[in-house]
Amino acid sequence: MTLIAPWLALGLLLALVPALLVLWILRLRRARIRVPAQWLWSDAREDLRAQVPFQRLRWSILLLLQLIALGLLLLAAARPRVVASLHSGGRTVLMIDTSASMHTRDASQGRRRFDAAREAVRGAIDRLHPGGLMDHGGGQTMLVTLGARPQIVQPFTSSRAVLLQALESIDVTDEPATLTPALDLAHAWAAVPDPDAGEAPAEGTTHLEVFSDGGLADLVDALDGLDAPLVLQHVGAEDTPNAAIARIGGTRDPADPAKLTPWVSVMHWAAQAASVKIRLVINGEPSSVRAIDLPAATEDGPGRVDVMFPAVRSAGRTALTAELVPGDALAEDDIARCIVPESGGARVAQMGKSAPLLRRALAALGLHAAGDESPDLVVAVSDTTAALPAVPSLSFGAPPVSAMVKPAATVPDTSIATSSHRHAVSRGSRLTGIRAAGAHVVQVDPGVRVLASSREGPLIVAWREQGVPRIHVGFEPSRSTWPQREDFITFLVDATAWLVGIDDEAGGHVAGDRIELALPAQTTSVDVQFNGDTIDTFSPADPSRAIWGPAPQAGVYAFHWASPDAQGVREAVVNMPVAVEGDTRRGAFTIDDPLLEARRASDRGVPLWPFAVIGAVLTLIAEWWIWVKRQ
Amino acid sequence: MSRWGESPPRPASVDALLDPAVAAALVGLDIESRKLLASPRHGERRSTRRGTSVEFADFRPYTAGDDLRRIDWNVYARLDALVIKLFQDEEDLLTVLAVDDSASMRFGTPCKHTTASKIAFALGVTALGAGHRVQAHALGAEGAVSQTLRGRGGAGQLGKWLIDLSADGRGDLAMDLKALSGAVRGRAKIIVLTDALVPSDAMPAAMSTLASRGHDVHLLQVLSPQELQPLATGLSGDHRLVDAETGEGPAVSMTASIEAEYRARLNAHVEMIDAAAHRCGVRPLLVRTDEPLEDLLRSRLRQGGVLR
């Protein structure tokens, strides 16, 4: 049993019990008794005890019952609850979700989900380390944040004050959250409580408690093979709708590169359709406002609308900002930014089988054939004859010759079962459900990122081979249902942007990503500024490339680089990880695992105060009955 | 559950005044009188005066004017002397039932007033059954007096008169007793039923006045268990005691010592009444309201000279 408000009860106890006893020893009220001859009591009238305001406290069953009733009422005031399954003592790892979706302000709660989670963690600390005379400080608790990378905010400690102080230092980020690294971290620390101190391995079970709104991309996978008791405490409402700008970009006309057509992709997680406006700002100047209707979400995913804005003329580097008006429960993803590089698109060389569909699509993206010039990008379709040149490549069908990606099997008919939203190439597209004929499943080395897989194995992968970025799709688009889907072009945009490097500044990063930027050779130091404040300074390991992150917040990061003979600035736009964090309707955890217990963070067990109140009332009734019988 | 000392409701009908068991106990009983009381009427009670009853009393010489029918001719035949036979004159007995109707009587469980009414009714029924006259007086109720009742038919009237008493009088008991002595014509058997809880010293004088008129006076002092043993009957804690008649009262924290003081004062008062009664020829008797009425009638009232 836990007491939610013990201090209130203690205060009332100190105030009311003495008051009750004073009422008993005071002679404030006397029952009027009719007697035949009061003069017979004349001596008693002079009794001193009847004249002084106080008397000796005399034993009475009525007093006992009143004290019992008062005690029960005080117990009710302390709001007791039975939380039978939550443990106390031992080692516990408290993991609090600090991902972007925790910004959400549910209408029913009136505060951020993160604030609710922090209060729940505070309650857990209260339970594990109640403090006071009765606290023996038996438990050891560690505090971990769930973001793009788990962070140990406070290693194992038995100090309640230290834990609460560490908890107050945590704030929500714009990152996505993953559970697997946090569980790995927790398991490692549970085995050796303080590796830095060289402690011996710990014995006994370590309990894990996760406080999240459910926006954990790898929740199911992370719990596979769970070997420690885990309590998932859910915060937030299950029906909070959200609209978010998933992607923003600008397409230049191949015939007139200065002609820029901005576009925005909006996702909508709601059971009902809605209408919003999109306000577009170009290079800091308001440009236009478009009203759109957002379709309701379906079982396949959120409602999605792609909006093309009227073309504008901007040949140079162009900053685009789009904002949804009015905002909603998760305001942080209602705004997105990107930077469209200056005109002069990349040159593409095509290899292997002829693919008219791809050629037209790439042309629409502003990429033009390299001809005799050196290409910026190679697009290969089922070309297995020779190694690809040392330029970025996007290959389809049979895998090209590679040391890191090798053919595994050919599948006559398959479909994409799982996909990753954590890569810049795939986060804007919904790849699951694409059906393909003659697909080539590949076998990959550890450094290769799998973006999508069928049941037979990886189908879409991305990797860097000798520093050269490459993407391979294990089927030909013309032999799949992909071109019929609206996100085919989105994938091509994201893939070519990532491959030719324009993604560095364009806005392909999301919070939680590492930012990779090409820098002038001989760069010696980089200052990272965000909103005008320098937040980091480092010397790049590769003088021509800056790798920094993860970026905790969405916005524009300025990288001030310096080399012995020059200095300059490159910017990186970071947006919200909408694909993972935009769904604010995640319900309570419903995972069937004997080691797993799912509960709402606000559910602190069975409240006992109604029983205490009923007991008090019954006691008072009994007291009244006895009093009446005595009269 | 009633409060301590609170009385249950008064009997609502005459039948409630006389239980069958009590009625059965009355069979064969009569009002006792240690004095032969003069009465203007012939009755069933032997009188000190010579009269016309069949019970022979004495002889006396014939004188002119005597009723010739009273000459004892047998004596004349034997002694040749005219003598007149004297017979015991028979008078009826007036029984006065004086019931205290003051508010102090409406107290206790059983109620003192109800108990006094039941005793008065039983005595009245006994007296009427024996052919005596009965008169009922309410003390403390501004001199309420019943008609002089006679014969068995008077029992109903007596019962109704008792039922109609309200027990809320505020009168002076001593004054009422003195007034009673004057209100009764001739000499009578007076039975006073009261708690006699009067603080003044006027009670002995009143009893003396009552007895000095030649009445055969009994004082039945009716008290309840609550008065006699307050602690044992549930009076505890802090109370304000309110006098039934004056409305005044002290604040009392009930303890054993307080009760002891109270009981000592009550006993002293009872003993004072008892002594004063004996001094003036009034026969006192303490009656508890929880005492079985049959036992009271058949035993203690006979021993006390009220009944025979």
Contact A59/B at CB under 8 A: no
Give the pLDDT of residue B36.
46
Q: Which of A29, A35, A48 to mutate against chain B (most B CBs within 10 Å)? A: A35
Is residue A592 a contact partner of residue A552, using CB atoms and an 8 Å limit? no
Instruction: Among B226, B252, B262, pick the best mutation site for testing chain A contact (most A Cβ within 10 A).
Output: B252
Confidence at A13, pLDDT banded by 50, 70, 90: confident
ipTM above threshold 0.95: no
Give yes or no for residue A611 having a pLDDT over 50.
yes
pLDDT number for residue B39: 47
Find the helix packing angle between A609-630 and A61-77, rounded to 10°. Answer: 160
Tell me the one-letter amino acid at B181: S
On whether the CB atoms of residues B120 and B101 are closer than 8 A, the answer is no
Cβ of A35 within 8 Å of Cβ of B244? The answer is: yes
Domain A91-239+584-604 matching CATH 3.40.50.410: the answer reads yes
How far is the CA of A342 from the CAs of A255, A281, A338, B251, in angstroms? 15, 17, 13, 103
Which residues on chain A are in Cβ contact (under 8 Å) with B255? 47, 49
Residue A321 has pLDDT above 90, yes or no: yes
> In this complex, do A47 and B253 lie within 8 Å of one another by their Cβ atoms?
yes
Burial class (CB in 10 A: 0-12, 13-18, 19+), B252: buried
Fold of A510-575: Immunoglobulin-like (2.60.40)
Nearest to B241 among A41, A51, A628 (CB): A41
pLDDT band at A198 (very low <50, low <70, confident <90, very high): low
B1 and A44 within 8 Å at the Cβ level: the answer is no
pLDDT of res. B210: 84
E strand or H helix at B92, and its extent? none
> How many residue pairs from chains A and B have C-beta atoms closer than 8 A?
109
**From-to residues of CATH 3.40.50.410 in chain B:** 14-37+93-303
How is residue B2 annotated by DSSP? P
Q: Please, are residues A434 and A419 in contact by the beta-carbon 8 Å criterion?
A: no
Q: Does B5 touch chain A (CB under 8 A)?
A: yes
**Residue A596, pLDDT score:** 62
Q: A55 in contact with B at a CB cutoff of 8 Å? A: yes
Residues of B in contact with A55 (CB under 8 A): 238, 253
Least confident of A72-81, A136-145, A573-582: A136-145
> Using 50, 70 and 90 to split pLDDT, how confident is the model at A186?
confident
Structure-block tokens of residue B183 = 């209100």
Residue in chain A closest to B266 (alpha carbons) equals A40
User: What tokens were used for A385?
Assistant: 């004859």
In this structure, what is the dihedral angle of CA atoms A502, A301, A585, A164, given to the nearest 10 degrees?
A: -40
What per-residue confidence (pLDDT) applies to B151?
81
Judged by CB atoms closer than 8 Å, whether chains meet at B262 and A49 is answered as no
CATH of A242-342, one of 3.20.20.80, 1.25.10.10, 2.60.40.10, 1.20.58.340: 2.60.40.10
Q: Write the pLDDT tens digit of every residue in A229-275.
A: 788 888 888 888 999 998 888 877 767 778 888 989 999 999 899 99
Amino acid in the structure at residue B295? D
Section A101-128 average pLDDT: 88
DSSP symbol at B89: E
Nearest-by-CA chain A residue for B263: A40
Residue of A nearest to B253 (CA): A50
Closest Cα in chain A to B4:
A631
- B102/B111 Cα distance (integer angstroms): 13
Least confident of A275-279, A313-317, B42-46: B42-46
pLDDT value of position B49: 47
Contact partners, residue A11, CB within 8 Å, separation at least 6: none
Q: Are B250 and A45 within 8 A, CB to CB? A: yes
Cβ–Cβ contact A197 with B under 8 A: no
- Choose the closest CB to B243 out of A27, A38, A629: A38
pLDDT tens profile A75-89: 888 877 765 445 555
- Using one digit for the tens of pLDDT, what is the confidence trace for A494-549? 888 788 765 444 556 788 888 877 777 788 899 999 988 999 999 888 777 778 88
Residues 169-198 in B contacting A (C-alpha not used; CB under 8 Å)? 195, 197
Whether the bond between A550 and the residue before it is cis, its omega within 30 degrees of 0, is: yes
Q: Does B262 touch chain A (CB under 8 A)?
A: yes
What is the rounded CA–CA span in Å between residue A251 and residue A262? 6
CATH topology agreement for domains A91-239+584-604 and A347-501? yes
Cβ distance of B250 and A44 shorter than 8 Å: yes
Note whether A479 and A358 are within 8 A (CB). no
A531: left (phi over 0), alpha (psi -120 to 50) or beta: left
Supply the pLDDT for residue B40.
Answer: 47
Answer whether A499's CB lies under 8 Å from A377's CB.
yes
CATH of the domain spanning A347-501, picked from 3.20.20.300, 3.40.718.10, 3.40.50.880, 3.40.50.720: 3.40.50.880
Tell me whether residues B243 and A35 touch, CB distance under 8 A.
yes
Please give the CATH number for the structural domain made up of B14-37+93-303. Answer: 3.40.50.410
Residue among A43, A51, A630 whose CB faces B261 most closely: A43
In a structure prediction context, what are the per-residue pLDDT tens digits for chain B, which is 308 residues long?
A: 567 878 888 888 888 898 888 888 888 888 887 554 444 444 444 444 445 455 566 777 887 777 788 788 888 888 888 888 776 544 567 899 999 998 889 999 899 999 999 999 999 999 988 888 899 999 887 667 777 888 878 899 999 999 998 888 777 888 888 888 888 877 889 999 999 988 767 888 888 888 888 888 999 999 999 999 988 888 877 777 888 877 777 777 777 888 888 899 899 999 999 999 999 889 999 999 999 999 999 889 988 888 88
Distances in Å between the Cα of B216 and the Cα atoms of A370, B52, B93, B285 are 152, 25, 11, 14
Structural domain boundaries of chain A?
2-82+610-630, 91-239+584-604, 242-342, 347-501, 510-575
Whole-angstrom distance, CA of residue A175 vs CA of residue A514: 11
Residues of chain A above pLDDT 70, percent: 84
Q: Which residues of B fall within a CB distance of 8 Å from A31?
A: 3, 237-240
